[in-house]
């Protein structure tokens, strides 16, 4: 019985950054991530319950943390040492030690989990992703489970959760499907802004594909084509399967958008373009391309987590383009996610599982998932 722990060790952190820049995922071996024996966590209030994770996914933000590329912005929103893992399907442990209901975790640590009463205005309307109090209350700071030292995380055999964080997994969903509920909820949250006009999704990693799935699962209001950029053959195949009208590489994208939107060109800038661009990559290149192909007055939605980027924003100013972030989800998105997973049978997106002791391999696999033809990698704590 063990867990992975991420501690605050600046020297290790720097080493991970160097290693990660040479070989993505190598931060796992050199960085402040280590495997340690399990430790029983105290329950903050009697309401809280203990969970025994079954599967826990590896997310892009986890990889950024491990490779030391995450923004310093998060430092005050995180408490060390913590156990990562926020894409969790788990069993509730009954007081008598038996396994109870199977649940998916809503990892956001909002006012209600922190014992803050009255709750902040965002939480009051259910928009827990916008909660203003993620660093306060009776818990240590931590915007989500998996970044907080008090709650533990999914990459372990034991963690704790507030009952408001639990969503029951319907019996017809396998564990493999259920571990995708959290990322799919993210996608459902992004897809809520889909207007039906021509839409570009940049990147066909987990988030890109799930966002596409979330959009096409609605399937009733599509007026313009959905264009997806994908780098690897397997990603292209999946994107086609999930209902993209056009799948192309990012080099080809401006030409596709140009002909689809019947636009002219001034220099590299399309005169027209896509009304809605969803950036699921979050790099300088992807954001710059988003600005290149977005229509005047259109929206660029950042679903992939950007960090330090440097952008030429003249066209944003000139064409009144909006860039909008897109973080996490509310409870409603989880229920939508279950539907999306059912609709597309998304369990196949889970490409491989590893035991916790093989964490360096698992993280290396996740870091090069696209190239290796994989989508989602997860830890499997179910034992034999």
Partner 1 sequence: MPRPGFVLEVDRSTPPIMFWRGENFSLEKLPAGRSRVIYPPEPLEALSDIDGAIRNALLHPIDQDPLASQMFPGMKLTIAFDDVSLPLPKMRRPDVRQRVIEAVLDTAAQAGVDDVHIIAALGLHRRMHEYELRHALGDRVYDAFHGRGMLYQHDAEDHDNLSVIGTTDHGEVLEINKRAADSDLVVYVNINSVAMDGGWKSITTGLASYRCLSFHHNPETLENTKSLMGHRHQSALHTSVWRLGQVLKDHGPKIFQIETTLNTDMFPSPFEFINKREWEWTAKDRATFLGTTKSLNRTPIKLARKIFHGMEGPHQMTSVQAGETEAVHKLTLEHVHRQQLMEVTGQTDILTLGIPFVCPYNPDGVMNPILVMCMGLGYLFNMYRNKPLVREGGVVIMTHPCYRDFNPVHHPSYIDFFEQVLSDTTSPAEMSRKWEKQYAEDEWYKHLYRTGNAYHGVHPFYAWYWGAHGLQHAGKVIIVGGDPPTVRRLGFTPASTMDDAFEIASDVVGRSPTITHLHVPALLIADVQ
Name which of 71 and 259 has its Cβ closer to partner 1. 259
Nearest approach in angstroms of CB 291 to partner 1 is 19
Residues 6+ apart with CB under 8 A from 326: 189, 190, 193, 278, 301, 302, 303
Nearest approach in angstroms of CB 263 to partner 1 is 7
Nearest approach in angstroms of CB 194 to partner 1 is 24
Name which of 245 and 339 has its Cβ closer to partner 1. 245
Q: Sign of torsion, CA 157 185 42 74? A: positive
Beta bridge partners of 324: 301
Residues 6+ apart with CB under 8 A from 215: 191, 194, 199, 226
Torsion of CA 165, 145, 75, 156, to 10 degrees: 180
Name the packing angle between helices 206-218 and 331-344 (round to 10°). Answer: 80
Nearest approach in angstroms of CB 224 to partner 1 is 15
Name which of 52 and 258 has its Cβ closer to partner 1. 258
Nearest approach in angstroms of CB 372 to partner 1 is 20
Nearest approach in angstroms of CB 252 to partner 1 is 5
Distance CA 160, CA 140 (A): 14
Size, binding site for partner 1 by CB under 8 A: 11
Name which of 209 and 246 has its Cβ closer to partner 1. 246
Nearest approach in angstroms of CB 255 to partner 1 is 5
Binding letters toward partner 1, positions 235-274, x by CB under 8 A: -----------x-x---x--xx-xx--xxxx---------
Contact 248, 256 (CB under 8 A): yes
The pairs formed by 42-47 with CB atoms below 8 angstroms and a separation of 24 or more are: 43/160, 44/115, 44/138, 44/139, 44/150, 44/160, 45/115, 45/138, 47/162, 47/163
Taking residue 365's Cβ as centre, other Cβ atoms within 10 Å add up to: 18
Name which of 248 and 278 has its Cβ closer to partner 1. 248
Nearest approach in angstroms of CB 148 to partner 1 is 47
Beta bridge partners of 245: none
Name which of 271 and 360 has its Cβ closer to partner 1. 271
Name which of 255 and 318 has its Cβ closer to partner 1. 255
Name the packing angle between helices 233-241 and 206-218 (round to 10°). Answer: 10
| Phi/psi of residue 132, nearest 5 degrees | -90, 0
Neighbour-count burial for 24-62, b at 16+ CB within 10 Å, e otherwise:
bbbbbbbbbbeeeeeeebeebeeebbbbbbbbbbbbbbb
Nearest approach in angstroms of CB 378 to partner 1 is 33
Binding letters toward partner 1, positions 178-217, x by CB under 8 A: ----------------------------------------
Name which of 199 and 263 has its Cβ closer to partner 1. 263
Name which of 218 and 258 has its Cβ closer to partner 1. 258
Binding residues vs partner 1 (CB under 8 A): 246, 248, 252, 255-256, 258-259, 262-265
């Amino acid at each position: 019985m063990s867990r992975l722990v991420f501690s605050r060790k600046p020297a290790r952190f720097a080493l991970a950054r160097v290693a990660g820049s040479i070989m993505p995922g190598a931060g796992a071996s050199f960085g402040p991530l280590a495997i340690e024996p399990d430790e029983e966590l105290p329950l903050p209030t009697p309401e809280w319950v203990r969970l025994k994770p079954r599967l826990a996914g590896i997310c892009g933000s986890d990889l950024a943390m491990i490779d030391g590329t995450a923004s310093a912005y998060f430092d005050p929103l995180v408490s060390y040492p913590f156990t990562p893992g926020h894409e969790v399907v788990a069993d509730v442990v009954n007081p008598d030690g038996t396994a109870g209901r199977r649940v998916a975790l809503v990892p956001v640590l909002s006012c209600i989990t922190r014992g803050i009463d009255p709750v902040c205005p965002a939480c009051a309307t259910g928009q827990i992703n916008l909660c203003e109090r993620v660093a306060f209350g009776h818990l240590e700071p931590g915007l989500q489970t998996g970044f907080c030292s008090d709650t533990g995380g999914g990459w372990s055999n034991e963690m704790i959760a507030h009952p408001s964080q639990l969503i029951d997994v319907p019996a017809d969903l396998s564990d493999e499907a259920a571990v995708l509920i959290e990322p799919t909820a993210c996608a459902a949250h992004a897809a809520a802004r889909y207007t039906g006009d021509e839409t570009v999704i940049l990147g066909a990693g987990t988030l890109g594909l799930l966002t596409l799935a979330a959009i096409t699962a609605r399937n009733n209001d599509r007026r313009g084509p959905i264009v997806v950029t994908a780098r690897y053959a397997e990603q292209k195949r999946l994107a086609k399967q999930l209902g993209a009208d056009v799948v192309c590489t990012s080099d080809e994208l401006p030409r596709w958008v140009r002909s689809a939107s019947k636009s002219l060109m001034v220099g590299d800038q399309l005169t027209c373009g896509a009304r809605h661009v969803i950036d699921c990559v979050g790099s300088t290149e992807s954001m710059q391309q988003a600005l290149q192909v977005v229509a005047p007055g259109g929206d660029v939605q950042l679903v992939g987590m950007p960090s330090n980027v440097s952008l030429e924003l003249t066209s944003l100013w000139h064409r009144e383009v909006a860039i909008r972030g897109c973080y996490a989800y509310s409870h409603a998105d989880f229920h939508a996610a279950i539907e999306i997973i059912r609709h597309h049978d998304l369990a196949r997106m889970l490409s491989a599982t590893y035991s916790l002791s093989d964490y360096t391999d698992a993280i290396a696999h996740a870091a090069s998932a696209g190239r290796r033809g994989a989508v989602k990698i997860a830890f499997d704590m179910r034992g034999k």
